[in-house]
Structure 1
Amino acid sequence: MKSAEITAAVPDFLADAAAEPTSEPRARILARLRLRHLNCIVAIAQERTMARAAARLHLSQPAVSKTLSELEEWAGTRLVERGRNGASLTAEGEHFLRYALDVRRAVDASAAALAREHPAQAAAVRIGALPTVQTAVLPRAIVGLQAVMPGVGVKVEVASNADLLGALKAGDIDMMIGRMAEPASMPGISFEYLYTESLVLVARAGHPLAQARATLSLEDALAYPLAIAGEHTAPRHHTEAFFESRGLTLPAGCVETQSLAVARLVVMRSDAVWIVPQRVADDDIAAGLLAVIDVPAPRGVEQIGMLRRSAEPLSEASGAFAEQLRRAILV
C-alpha cells in the first residue's frame, strides 16, 4: 500500500508529532507506515494479549512487539498497556484504532470489488450478546430480520460484557446487546436502553414448591438444590448481594454454570430451583415447562441495552436488525 493511500489512518496525535523535537514529521511517518502496523493494533485490540495477537497475524511475538514499538515511537506516547491481565489499548491507542479500522474496512471493500463479490452475498450482521441475552431477545429479532431482509445473514458471538466491548471497539462485531461498562471504557461507544433485567426463581412444572398453596419464603426454596450463574458474572453478583441483604449465604451443593442449556436441563430433570433472568425463562414458563416460585427475588438489577460505535453509522442490514431488536423487546 502506498503511503498516500493511508493518510486517513494517521490521527492528529501522530500528525502533530512534528511539533515535538523527538518525533517524526508527518511525511516521514507516511513514508514508513504500512498496513502491517494497522493490522498490529487491530489484532492487539481484538485478542487482548500480545501472544494471541501474534498468533492471529501468523507472526512471532517479537515481530508484533517491534511493530508496536515503531508505532509508539512515532506517536511519542504509549498505545498499549501490558500487564498481568493482558494487553489493553490506552486512550491514544483507541483513538488510533478507529483510523486503523477505517482503512481496514476500505481495504476489505476494495478486495470484494476486485473479486466482483456482490454486496448481498457478503451481507451479514455481526452481533455480540451476553449469555443471558442470547435466548431472551435475539431469536425474535433474528426471525424478524429474516422476514424483512431474507438475503442477510446473522453471525452471533456470545461472550462476557468485557470481551464483547473489546470486540466492538476492534470492529469484530457491528453491535452488542449487553450492559453499560465503566465510563473509562465507553469513549466512542453509544448505549441505547432496551430493558431492565430482573431475576426469578423457577422450577420444573409439577415441582412441590410450584404446587404449594401456603405462602413461601426464600428459605423454603433453599431446601432444594440451586442452579445459579457461574462466578464473575452479573447475575451471580446480584444473586449473592440479594442473599447477603437478607442475612443468607449460598448453600452448599449449588450447580454453578454459565451455560443456560445445562442449568435448564438440570432443573427440568430434577427438583433443583433455578435463579435466572426472567426473560430467559419466559418462553418455558409460557409453555408450561417451568413455573415461577413465588418467593422474593432480585428485581430491576441491571439495565440491558444495545451498544455500537458512535462515530460509525449502521449499515442498512444492521439498522434493520436494530429495529427488529427494539420490536422484540415489546413482545
Structure 2
Amino acid sequence: MASGRRPTLTQSFCRPSTSRASAAQPSTRRGNTMRTTLLAVALTLAGVLVLTGCPGQRAPEELASPDPTLPSEQPIAEGSGEGLGRVLTAVPCGVAGPYGDICEIMKTTDPAIDMQADVANTMVLNRKLVDGKGSCDAYLAMGNVEVEALEKVGKVARAVPVAGMGLGLIVAKGNPLGIKSIADLANDNVKAVAIARPNSSVGFCAEQALKNAGVWSAVEAKLARPDAPSELKSFVMKGKADAAIIYNTCLVEVHTPGQQRQEEGQGVSTKLQDVGLIDQQLYEPFSLQVVVPTDAQNPAGAEAFIRACLSEAGQKIFADWSYIPLKPDAEAGKPEA
C-alpha cells in the first residue's frame, strides 16, 4: 500500500497507560452510533507504522464537544438534479484524487451512473449540509466528528466507512529543528505547533494525541489553530508554525478529480517534510465515510458509489492515495435490513 512511500520508521508499541475504553472517553458521550465504525477502523489501523519515542503517557483530559461553526460563502450545489443515474457527491478538496479514480472504474462497473462532484473545503461542505443550505446524494466525510455533526441535526440516513485515516506530523523541508516525534513538540526550540480546531476530526484527534502523549501542558500555549484544516500546511510553509499535525493524506492530495497524486519533489513536498505517522494508539480511530443524507435524491446511486469504494479496486485506489484500506467485504456495502 501507499504507506511504503512514507519515511521508514521503527515500529513502536508504546500504548497509553489507560485502556482503549478510557482513551476514547471524550467520544463516548457523543453517542453509541459510531462504535461499530471505530472498531472496524481500529483493527485496520493497528498495523500502521508509527512515530518512535513515545513519552510517558497519561489518560486524556476531557475534550470540548465537536462544534462545527466555521462560516463560509462557498456554496454547495443545490439539489441532486432530475437526471436518472446522476449522483451528486460533496467531495472535500483533499479527497478529489481517489474520488476521481473511483469514478473512472464506475464508468465500467456502473456505466448508467453519471457521477458529478461538488468539490470544496471540508468545513464548507459540512457547514452547508448541517445548516440545510445545500444537498447532495453522497458526502465524503473526513472523520467521525463530521458525521456526528450531521447526525445531531438528523441529516444522516446512512454512513459507511470506506477507508481508514490517520494523523501525520510535518515540518519545514530539511527539518531544521530535528523534530522526530510528537514528544519533540514540547522542546523549547519549538515555538509554534499548528493543529486544527476540534470541530474537525483532524483537530479533535490531534488534541487527543497531544494529551495522551503527555505533552499538552508544554504545547498548549504555543498552538497555532487555523480556521480550516486546509491551512495547516501553509502555516508551516509560511513560518507561522514549526510543525503541524495533519491528515496523513495531505502531502499527496490533489484538488481536482483526475489529477495524479503529488509525489516527492512535487507540489508542497518541495517545502514540507513528512516526519511520519503519529501513533494511532494516542487518539480515537477515524475513517473516511460515505454519508447518504436523508434528503438525497438518488440514494440508489449513492449505494452504487459505496459499493465501488468498498470493492477490491476501490480499496486499492484508496491505498494508492495513502489512505488505510479496509478489508473488502461485499456485505459491508449493503443497507441494513
TM-score normalised over the length of structure 1: 0.48
From the two aligned structures, give the one with the greater helix fraction.
1
TM-score normalised over the length of structure 2: 0.48
Kindly indicate whether structure 1 or structure 2 has the higher relative contact order, using CA contacts under 8 Å at least 6 residues apart: 2
Q: Rg: which structure is higher?
A: 1
